[in-house]
Amino acid sequence: MTASILFVCLGNICRSPTAEAVFQSRLKAVGLANQIQVDSAGTGDWHVGAAPDTRAQAAGLARGYDLSHLRARQVSQEDFFQHRWIIAMDQNNLRDLIQLAPAVHTAQLNLLLDYSSLSLVDKNVPDPYYGKIADFDRMLDLIEDACQGLLVHIHREII
Ligand code: 4NP
């Protein structure tokens, strides 16, 4: 059976599409791309149908991640049944997901930075939308590191 993971942020144009591309790349690198599907969505609907923010695309491409084919969509009720893991970029996203979730569902909801190797007090991937280019690089640093820990966690759960 193919397991599935969904990354969630607010707009689905900066953080979660970046996490989707990074995690997909990690899966390919370890030969698990056929076993785990990756997707992303936003809790908000402002950018539905839009490509990732051009700054997120540029920051990703500089590290070898192509985000250009991704399009924003909003989290749906089906997501809570279709995905085994739903991974929120920050605590607001997680709170919103918990409120949106059907009373009975099958997804495990977690924060991405729970899988970080860094000693972080703040478990939020900061929203870079109103920030500078350096904020997009910091976002990538946090996402790349935590995706490694998340991969180890998921690998343990599927074997
Ligand atoms: P994201 O960033 O949640 O990482 O995609 C944002 C993008 C757009 C907005 C907020 C956050 N916005 O308010 O339009």
Give 9 Cα–ligand 1 centroid separation in angstroms. 8
From the list 38, 14, 18, the residue with the least C-alpha distance to 86 is: 38
From the list 137, 142, 125, 144, the residue with the least C-alpha distance to 55 is: 137
Domains and CATH numbers, the chain: 3-158 (3.40.50.2300)
Give 157 Cα–ligand 1 centroid separation in angstroms. 31
Q: Is the CB of 8 under 6 A from ligand 1?
A: no
Confidence of residue 1 (pLDDT cuts 50, 70, 90): low
Which residue is closest in CA terms to ligand 1's atom 11? 11
pTM over 0.85: yes
Whether residue 6 contacts residue 101, with contact meaning beta carbons closer than 8 Å, is answered with: no
Q: Is the pLDDT of residue 158 over 90?
A: no
Which residue is closest in CA terms to ligand 1's atom 13? 11
Q: How many angstroms separate the CA atoms of 41 and 66, rounded? A: 17
Confidence of residue 94 (pLDDT cuts 50, 70, 90): very high
Q: What is the pLDDT of residues 110-142, one digit of tens each?
A: 999 999 999 999 999 999 999 999 999 999 999
Give 15 Cα–ligand 1 centroid separation in angstroms. 8
Largest pairwise CA distance in the chain: 42
Q: How many angstroms separate the CA atoms of 61 and 48, rounded? A: 22
Q: What is the pLDDT of residues 12-60, one digit of tens each?
A: 999 999 999 999 999 999 999 999 999 999 999 999 999 999 999 999 9
